[in-house]
Amino acid sequence: MKGFYFKGMAAGIKKDGKKDLGLIFSARPASAAALFTKNSVVAAPVIIGRDKIRSGLCQAVVVNSGNANCFTGDRGINDTERIAALAAKELKIPESLIMVSSTGVIGAPLPMERFIEAMPELTRRLTHEEESASDHMDDFARAILTTDLRVKVIQKECAIRGEKFTIAGIAKGSGMIRPNMATMLAFICTDIDIPATLLKSSLKIACDRSFNRISVDGDTSTNDMILAMANGMSGTVLEESDDAIEFQNILDEVMLGLARMVVMDGEGATKLVKIEVKGARSPEDAYMAADAIAHSNLVKTAIYGEDPNWGRITAAAGRSGAEVVQDKMDLYFGDTALVKQGVWQGQDAEKRAAEIMKAHELGIVLDLNLGHFSDFYIFCDFSENYVKINADYRS
C-alpha cells in the first residue's frame, strides 16, 4: 500500500510490558472521515477528534492502549492535545493533521512521561526505503489491543476499471461491544483517491452494514472510533458513480470482515452466531427483532450450552417491539426447522439442531412471514470466562 507506514511499540503504559503505543502515518495528507461512539460519556480523544476531523484531512493517528483517557477532565483534553503536538514536532507536520485515540481503563490520567519518552522512537524511520507499508502493520495492530486475544487485520489488493489500489483495515475490540457509531477502534487506510465527503458517506454506509450489526455484550464504550484515510498515492481516482458503488462494495467487505473478527474474539466467546430476521412488516421491525435476540442473555447462554432452546429466541422477538404473529413464525437452526407456522417440530428436530450447534459458527433464521423486510445481527455466546475476564479487568 503506497504511502502508509505503521509502527507499534511498548511505551510502558500497560503494566505487562506489552506493546501499547501505535502510529499510522501517511506520506502526504489524506482525505479522512471518522465515526465516533454515541455514548454520552466520551473520552478526551473523542471530544478533540470530532472537531479535528471536520477538516476532512488527516496525515497521522497516534493510538494508545492501557488507558482510555476518559473521565479525566481538562487534564485529559490537554494531554490529548499534547500528544498530537509531540507527534507533530517529530513528524514535522501540522498538529491539525494528527488524530489521537485511546483505549483501556476509564478514570486514570495518562502517564504523559511515557509518551514524551516514546515519541522519538515511535516516529523514527517511518519512511525507510527498505521497509514496505505493511512491514509493521501487525506491530500497530498489537499495540492497540486490550483484552483481545488476536490481532484483526485485513489487506486487499483491488482494482476499479483495471486501475489498482490497496485497502487495509485494522481493528481492536473484544468486550464492551455494541458499536453505536465498545472499546472498539478501527482504522481503514487506502491509497485510492477519493474526496472526503464521499469517503464519509461510504464509511457510514459500511459501518451500518458491519460494526453496527455486531454485539458481544451489549455495552457501548466511551472511546469507539472508526477512522478512514485515503491518500491517493496509487494514482487510482474515483471518477464515476459506478466507481463509488464498486468502492462501497469493497469497503463493506473489509469492514464486515473486521466486524466478524471482533465477535469471534469476543471476551469468553466460543461461538459466532448470525441471526437473520426475514419476512418482517418493516425494516424497523426486522432490526428490532434481530437486535433483541442478539442481546438476550438467555439466548447467548443457551448457545454456549449447545441447547436448542428455541423458545428463548421467539420470546425475545416477541418482546422486541416488532410486530409478530405467533402462529406465522418459522425458525431454523442451519437447515433444520425447529418451528413452522408457530408449531414446534419435535424432539428429532431439536436433536439435529443440537448437532448443528456444536460448530464454532451458527446461522439462525427467524421468518416472521408478515412482509418482505429483513435484517441481521452477528453476536457471540456467553461463557464463564466473560465473567472472569471482566471481574479481574482492572487488577
Q: Where are the domains of the chain?
A: 4-264, 272-391
The fourth-level CATH superfamily of domain 4-264 is L-amino peptidase D-ALA esterase/amidase (3.60.70.12)
Predicted confidence at residue 183, as pLDDT, reads: 52
| Contact status, residue 175 vs residue 389, Cβ threshold 8 Å | yes
Distance CA 155, CA 134 (A): 9
The set of cell numbers assigned to 314 is 421467539
| Contact status, residue 262 vs residue 174, Cβ threshold 8 Å | yes
% pLDDT > 70, the chain: 95
* Fold match, 4-264 / 272-391: no
Distance CA 353, CA 347 (A): 10
- Where the chain has pLDDT below 70, the residues are 127-135, 175-177, 179-183, 393-395
List active site positions: 183
Predicted confidence at residue 177, as pLDDT, reads: 64
Distance CA 313, CA 309 (A): 8
Query: In the CATH scheme, what architecture does the domain 272-391 have?
Result: Roll (3.10)
Give one DSSP letter per residue of 121-134, joined into a string.
Answer: HHHTTTT-TTS-TT
Taking alpha carbons only, the member of 279, 239, 314, 227 closest to residue 35 is: 227
Predicted confidence at residue 129, as pLDDT, reads: 46
For 151, 270, 271, 363, the CA distances from 357, given in Å and listed in that order, are: 26, 11, 9, 9
Dump strand ranges (E) for 150-289: 152-160, 163-172, 185-190, 214-215, 225-230, 272-280
Predicted confidence at residue 180, as pLDDT, reads: 66
Helix, strand, coil % over all residues of the chain, rounded to 5:
35, 25, 35
β partners of residue 4: 26
Q: Residue 356: helix, strand or coil by DSSP? A: helix
Name the one residue in this structure whose C-alpha cell is 450447534.
357
Predicted confidence at residue 176, as pLDDT, reads: 64
